[in-house]
Amino acid sequence: ISGVSVTAAGREGYLVNVSSDGTVIWEQNYAGYQELEFRDAVLASDGNLIITGYRRVNSGDDAEIIMYKVSVAGDGVMMWRRDWGWSGNDYIGEALIEFQERYHIISTASDADRPNLTSIMLINTDTDGRGASSEPINTPYLRGKDIAKSPTGHMYILGNQQDPADRISKIFLAEL
């Protein structure tokens, strides 16, 4: 289970490993930033946990996408951390998958000057979180929600789009 823990120092990423009968095996907070929030966690093919979300180093800084690799067997010990950000925007990793020996993150990008103006950014890395490439989907007011793969080997992204002017919400589904 992944999420956030609010402390006096700020928002910390939180993980708990629970057995099938509900017994807590281990739990871990990850700190060091003004804000650190985990949005999604998946079990990778190597048996370790891959996590995405965002970090904000200091109050007022742009949010950056984060990806952590954590040892499940090693009480949540962080194996590596990667982060991506672009000036003038907040980027939040919403969901991720492992697909064709790569990690894929769907994120929501918010314009710093107009926070309601959002779009999707896709991040694609190797299984060490390196060799990252990014691809924006510049549809106004679009927020990333999920990324999935089908049994037939296709990858899909899901989002929603809501223009504040017309207040009509639309579902966005794309095959990659």
Tokens of 109: 């990008």
Order of strands, edge to edge, in the sheet holding 169-175? 142-149, 155-162, 169-175
DSSP state of 88: T
Could you give phi then psi for residue 140, rounded to 5 degrees? Answer: -60, 145
Q: Is the pLDDT of residue 9 over 80?
A: no
Residues 86-118 have pLDDT tens digits of: 888 889 999 999 999 999 999 998 887 777 788
- pLDDT band for position 54 (50/70/90)? very high
Residues 67-79 pLDDT 10s: 999 998 878 899 9
Cα–Cα distance measured from residue 65 to residue 56, given in angstroms and rounded to the nearest whole number: 9
